[in-house]
Amino acid sequence: MSRPGIIVVDHGTSATKGFLFDKRLEIVATEKIRHTVDRPKPGWVECDATEILTACETVIDKMVEEAHTQSLTIATIGMAFQRSTFLFWRKADGEPAAPAMSWQDSRADGLAKGISEHSGFVQQKTGIPLTGHFGGPKYLHTITNHSNIKDGVEKGDLFFGPLSSFVTHRLTGNHLIDQSIAGRSLLMDIATLQWEDDLLKLFQVRERALPQIVPTSYSFGTVKAGGKAIPLLCVIGDQQASLIGQGRWRKGDVSMNFGTSGSVLVNCGQSSIVVPSLLTNVLYSTAEATHFLLEGTINSIGSLFKWVEGRLEIPHEEIMWDKRCELETEGVLVPGLNGISAPYWTGEFETEVFGLNNDTEPNQFIRAAMESIGFLVHDICHVMKEEAGIETGDIVASGGSSRTPLLQFISDLLDTDLHTTQGKDMTALGVARLAAHSALGQPLDAVTSRDKVFHPIMPASAREKKISAWHNAVRKLSILKD
C-alpha cells in the first residue's frame, strides 16, 4: 500500500531546495538548485524570477519522481520563501515586467527617508519600520522611475507582489499572498491582516495589482506535477518556518536562524507586540487562529563572509571561516554590505574596520567579521529585553551559518546558554509540520530534539570591553545615537 508523502520547497537567497518527507516527517530525498543574484549598481540587488520559478518546478518534479521510487503518494506541497523580494509581472502571460528586487535591495532607501514623517504611522499600522527594504517603498520607487511600469499598473495590466506570490500564481493560477509574507509589504495592517487604505495611498499602490491575503495554512490551489494535481496547502516566510521547525510553539520561545542572512525571533502567541526598530509579523496562521512573532533581522551573514573572501583574496573553498576564528582580535568590523537592519536600519554603506589594517593577520579580520554578527544579535536582544520585556533565555539556533565559534560568541555576549537542534533544514521541517497538519491532521506541537549546548565562558570584564568597543565603532559611524 502506498504511503503518504509531503513535498517541501525551500527557496532561499542563493538556492532552491526540494525535500520529500514521509508521514513521520523524516527526509527521504532532497534536491538543490543554485541560482544567481545580480548587483547592477551599489545598493541594487536583483534576481531573475523566471529562473527561480523554473528551479521550484524542477525540484517539485524531482521529488515526485523520488516519491514514486519510494512508494509514496504525495498528499500535499508546502513552500517557504525569502520574504522581502518583490516584483511586477504581467497579468496576461505571467511574465516578469522587470527583475525582482531582492530583500537585500536598498534602492528605495532615499525615498523612504523622504517620507520619514510617516514612519511612526507606518510602524504602528504594520509593525514594521519604514525602510526601502520592504514592498511599499520598492513599489513607489519603481513607478516613480519607470513610466512603463506605472502605465502598466494604471491600465490594470500588472500584478505586484513578493516572489512567493509570483511563483504560486504561476504554479496554481491563483493570485494569493500569505499573511507572514504580506507583513513585509508595509501595506498590511497588522491588526486586521488586510490591505490598509492609508498605506496604499502613501505608497500610491493600486489594490487591484495586489494579491489576496490568506492564512499561511490555506488551500492555495493545485500544482500539476507527475501527471497529477497536488494541493498546495502551506506558503510561509522562511524564518517563520525555521522557528516552527525548531519546535518553538510556546509564547516566549526564542530561536535564532543563521544562513545567508539571520534572524532572532520570539513567539508572541496570539497577541502582536509592536516595538520600534524591530519587526512584528505573523508567525503562522490558520482559518481558526493567528500566531505572531517579534523579530530582529541581520542582513549579512553568509554574504558577509563572501565579501570577506574578496577582501582578503581567499578562494571560496579555502575560506572555512569557522576554522579561522580561533585567534582573538581587538579589532571591530561594521558590516555595510546590504546595510544594517535591526535595530539600526541603515542603507548600504562601505564596510568599516577599526583596529584592523593590511598588516592584520587575515584570521583576525575573519574573526572580527564573525563577531559583528554576534554584536548585532546582542543589540537586538537588548532591545527585546528593554522595550518588550522579553528575556532571551532558552535559545535554540539553527541554519547553515550556525557554527561553533559564532554560537559560542553569542552565548558569551548574552551570558546565557544556547542550544542547537539535531538535524539540519529546520525551515523545511517547519513547512512539513504545517503541511502535514493541513493534509493529514497531524498535531502542531511536535518537539525538536536538541543537540549541542553552549555555555557562556567569557569573563564579564572581557564581555563589557568587547561590547563597548563595538558601540564606540557604530557611534563613530553615526549608526548608534547616544
pLDDT in tens, 92-136: 999 999 999 999 899 999 999 999 999 999 999 999 999 999 999
Cis, peptide link before residue 129, omega less than 30° from 0: no
Rounded Cα–Cα distance for residues 141 and 271 (Å): 33
Rounded alpha-carbon distances, angstroms, from residue 300 to 5, 261, 318: 35, 5, 20
All structural domains of the chain: 3-236 (3.30.420.40)
pLDDT-above-90 percentage for the chain: 79
Query: Which residues are CB-neighbours of 201 under 8 A, at least 6 positions away?
Result: none
pLDDT at site 400: 85
The answer to whether residue 432 scores a pLDDT higher than 60 is: yes
pLDDT at site 319: 87
Residues 211, 215, 216, 220, CA torsion sign: negative
pTM (two decimals): 0.90
Q: What is the mean pLDDT of residues 275-285?
A: 95
pLDDT-above-70 percentage for the chain: 100
Query: Which residues are CB-neighbours of 441 under 8 A, at least 6 positions away?
Result: none
pLDDT at site 2: 72
Highest mean pLDDT among 51-60, 106-115, 244-253: 51-60
- Residue found under cell 535595530: 343
Rounded Cα–Cα distance for residues 160 and 136 (Å): 10
**Grid cell of 212 as nine digits:** 489576496
Q: What is the DSSP letter of 96?
A: B
**Grid cell of 272 as nine digits:** 502582536
pLDDT at site 1: 46
